[in-house]
């Protein structure tokens, strides 16, 4: 096997049958946690005597992240096989979500050396490193269920968020009008009203800004009741989505019934043309819908980013009534 291809197989995620690949996944997770723990410890004065050790550990983890990023760019043409030119595949990875996360997780370490004046400002970007964990989770069922629910319920969630925003804006303007004269130092402008409405609608209630007039208190009571109901809407949508997803996955494991809809499985062999392709690059027959990919003891949701591997078992839903 080509050396670059082997490196790509190792650094790619989710292949439990490949021992070096599985070990690499675990190694990167450990490195990410070490890096985050070091970052946290550097904020405590108690660890000042050990700062040299912490700085050395941070440098080691950053070097590992840098090498990994370079290898991912180098093997990007295997991730995007449809791109004929290697530089196009590498550019596509560099501007992808995971590529940007990998890049922004390492550049905050080097920027202070280039721009010493902005060292403090650049350190805040180190929190981006925690998003590298999403790369590990992306190939597994739990994370895929979350992303699938958000995609399927996208329109309902956007509608509910818009309703909350409209209510927030209306309540902030009303409260500003009612409270500005009574306490101009608190409700100085419409933004002060927005801050109050956000903390009230989200049932946080910091207590730094609150109404003192009778009309303002009555309005606050109404807004509080509306806020409880409005914020519960997206929560209910997401909860219903989770129930639907897990119910669907449970049904896949039950015996087939004569309902006009059947489920068939197809094992992807080493010579199958689907190996190495993303699921959105494969054309299925009109009556066939991929609903699950079984990889060893894993049950993966077939989202657009899933790449078929050898010995995957694809579960297809077939409508036999058409």
How do residues 259-286 score in pLDDT, each as one tens digit?
Answer: 455 666 677 765 667 777 877 777 777 6
Is residue 76 one of the residues assigned to a domain? Answer: yes
Strand order in the sheet with 298-300: 261-267, 313-319, 288-295, 298-300
Q: Which residue has the higher pLDDT, 51 or 16?
A: 51
Do 270 and 232 fall within a single domain? Answer: no
User: What is the predicted pLDDT for the residue at 269?
Assistant: 65
Q: Which of 115-124, 184-193, 306-315 has the lowest mean pLDDT?
A: 115-124
Q: With cut-offs at 50, 70 and 90, classify the pLDDT of residue 17.
A: low
Q: How confident is the model at residue 35 (pLDDT cuts 50, 70, 90)?
A: confident
Higher pLDDT, 97 or 51: 51
Has residue 207 been placed in a domain? yes
CA dist 56 and 38 (Å) reads 10
Residue 229 has a pLDDT of 80
- The CATH number assigned to the domain holding 40 equals 1.20.120.350
- Is 35 a member of any domain? yes
What is the pLDDT, as a whole number, of residue 256? 43
DSSP for residue 167: H
Q: What are phi and psi of 85, to 5 degrees?
A: -95, 135
Instruction: Please state, in angstroms and rounded to a whole number, the distance separating the CA atoms of residues 310 and 313.
Output: 9
User: Which token pair is 274?
Assistant: 């689907």
Beta bridge partners of 293: 300, 314
CATH of the domain at 269: 3.30.70.1450
pTM attached to this predicted model: 0.58
Q: Is residue 145 part of a domain?
A: no
Kindly tell me if the per-residue pLDDT of 319 is higher than 70.
no
57 token code pair? 């550990």
Residues 240 and 292 placed together within one structural domain of the fold: no
Which residue in 274, 297, 276, 279 sits closest to 289, CA to CA? 279
pLDDT at 251 over 50: yes
Task: Find the angle CA(305)-CA(307)-CA(308) to the nearest 5 degrees.
Answer: 145
| 147 within some domain | no
- Position 67 scores a pLDDT of 93
**Token pair of 5 as six digits:** 């291809």
Number of domains in the chain: 3
Handedness of CA 229, 180, 166, 242 (dihedral sign): negative
Tell me, yes or no, whether 119 and 189 share the same domain.
no
Residue appearing with tokens 């597994």: 140
Residues 101 and 132 in one domain: yes
- For residues 57 and 285, the model is more confident at 57
pLDDT in tens, 177-219: 888 888 888 888 877 788 888 887 776 767 778 888 898 888 8
- Those residues whose C-beta lies under 8 Å from the C-beta of residue 124, and which sit 6 or more positions away, are 108
CATH number at residue 215: 1.10.287.70
Please, are residues 299 and 271 in contact by the beta-carbon 8 Å criterion? no
Domain containing 66: what range?
3-138
In this structure, are residues 278 and 306 in contact, taking their beta carbons and an 8 Å threshold?
yes
Give the model's pLDDT for residue 270: 59
The answer on 126 and 28 residing in a single domain is: yes
List of E strands, the chain: 261-267, 288-295, 298-300, 313-319
315 token code pair: 């579960």
Residues 243 and 126 in one domain: no
Q: Which of 252, 279, 308 is the last residue of a domain?
A: 252
């Amino acid at each position: 096997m080509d050396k670059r291809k082997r490196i790509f197989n190792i650094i790619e995620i989710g292949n439990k049958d490949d021992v070096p690949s599985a070990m690499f996944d675990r190694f990167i997770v450990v490195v990410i946690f070490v890096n985050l723990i070091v970052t946290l410890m550097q904020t405590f004065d108690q660890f000042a005597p050990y700062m040299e050790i912490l700085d050395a550990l941070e440098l080691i983890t950053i070097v590992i992240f840098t090498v990994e990023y370079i290898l991912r760019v180098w093997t990007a043409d295997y991730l995007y096989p449809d791109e004929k030119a290697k530089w196009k595949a590498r550019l596509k990875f560099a501007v992808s979500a995971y590529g940007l996360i990998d890049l922004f997780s390492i550049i905050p370490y080097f920027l202070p050396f280039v721009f010493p004046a902005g060292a403090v400002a650049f350190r805040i970007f180190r929190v981006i490193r925690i998003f590298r964990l999403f790369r590990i989770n992306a190939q597994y069922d739990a994370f895929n269920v979350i992303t699938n629910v958000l995609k399927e319920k996208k329109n309902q969630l956007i509608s509910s968020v818009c309703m909350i925003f409209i209510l927030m804006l209306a309540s902030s303007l009303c409260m500003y009008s009612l409270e500005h004269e009574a306490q101009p130092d608190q409700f100085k402008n419409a933004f002060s009203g927005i801050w109050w409405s956000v903390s009230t609608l989200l049932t946080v209630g910091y207590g730094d800004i609150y109404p003192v007039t009778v009309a303002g208190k009555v309005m606050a009571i109404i807004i509080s009741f509306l806020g409880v109901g409005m914020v519960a809407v997206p929560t209910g949508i997401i909860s219903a989505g989770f129930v639907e997803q897990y119910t669907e996955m449970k049904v896949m494991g039950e015996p087939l019934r004569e309902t006009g809809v059947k489920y068939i499985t197809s094992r992807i062999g080493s010579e199958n043309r689907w190996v190495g392709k993303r699921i959105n690059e494969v054309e299925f027959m009109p009556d066939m819908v991929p609903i699950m990919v079984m990889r060893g003891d894993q049950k993966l949701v077939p989202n657009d980013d899933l790449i078929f591997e050898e010995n995957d078992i694809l579960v297809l839903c077939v409508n036999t009534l058409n």
